[in-house]
């Protein structure tokens, strides 16, 4: 099935709307444009996202990038979920360009997702790309499928984590990462 305006008009009609009424005339086009934006992670490749930005560097202390905004669509209801991603890794002779971590988040978030899968994909991708001593990822998400339907809870947030290597095996490393996430962001 091709994404075209016809099926959006059919959907509007099936819902009891008139797709020809003034306010809805441009909706099929706008909806398709929005859907393509929300799922733009599909046509991208990891190689394209990384662009060769892996560098040899002897730095061996924890690197943390926190409060990375993300927006995604849940695979169960196709409703948005969004929030913050926090990523840490301990280099082992190679570092990744700073902007590439949010780009990895975006690559996977802009697909139809589960938060648990998103968390794991980010961690495993960074582990494979840089081969660090360890990776830690925490994702905090607000799910509209939980807020707008079903139990309708507007203050429920979901937190998921994935820890690999030293973050999994060394409690002190994991606690250092979690403590760094608690510290106030300087602006």
CA-CA distances (angstroms) from residue 97 to 71, 88, 119, 148? 22, 13, 20, 38
Catalytic position from the list 10, 76, 116, 169? 76
* 74 catalytically annotated: yes
Catalytic position from the list 77, 92, 124, 176? 77
CA-CA distances (angstroms) from residue 110 to 39, 51, 154, 170, 184? 5, 19, 23, 32, 28
* Among 145, 149, 168, CA closest to 158: 145
- Asked if 110 contacts 54 with a C-beta cutoff of 8 angstroms, the reply is no
* 116 catalytically annotated: no
* 77 catalytically annotated: yes
* 22 catalytically annotated: no
* 143 catalytically annotated: yes
Catalytic position from the list 74, 86, 106, 140? 74
| Residue listed under structure tokens 């968390």 | 119
Catalytic position from the list 115, 121, 127, 140? 115
Catalytic position from the list 10, 75, 116, 169? 75
* Among 61, 82, 79, CA closest to 71: 82
Q: How far apart are the first and last CA of the chain?
A: 47
Catalytic position from the list 106, 113, 121, 143? 143
* 169 catalytically annotated: no
* 76 catalytically annotated: yes
* Among 161, 138, 136, 127, CA closest to 54: 127
- Which are the catalytic amino acids? 74-77, 115, 143, 145
């Amino acid at each position: 099935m091709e994404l075209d305006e016809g099926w959006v008009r059919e959907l509007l009609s099936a819902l009891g709307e008139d797709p020809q009424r003034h306010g809805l005339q441009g909706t099929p086009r706008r909806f398709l444009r929005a859907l393509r934006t929300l799922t733009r992670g599909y046509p991208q490749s990891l190689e394209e996202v990384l662009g060769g930005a892996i560098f040899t560097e002897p730095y061996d202390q924890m690197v943390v990038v926190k409060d990375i905004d993300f927006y995604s669509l849940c695979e169960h209801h196709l409703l948005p979920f969004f929030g913050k991603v926090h990523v840490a890794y301990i280099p082992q002779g190679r570092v990744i360009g700073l902007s590439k971590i949010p780009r990895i988040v975006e690559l996977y978030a802009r697909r139809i997702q589960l938060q648990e899968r998103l968390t794991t994909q980010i961690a495993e991708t960074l582990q494979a790309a840089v081969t660090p001593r360890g990776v830690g990822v925490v994702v905090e998400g607000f799910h509209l499928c939980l807020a707008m339907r079903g139990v309708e809870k507007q203050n429920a947030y979901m937190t998921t984590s994935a820890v690999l290597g030293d973050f999994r095996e060394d409690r002190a490393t994991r606690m250092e990462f979690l403590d760094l996430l608690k510290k106030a962001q300087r602006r």
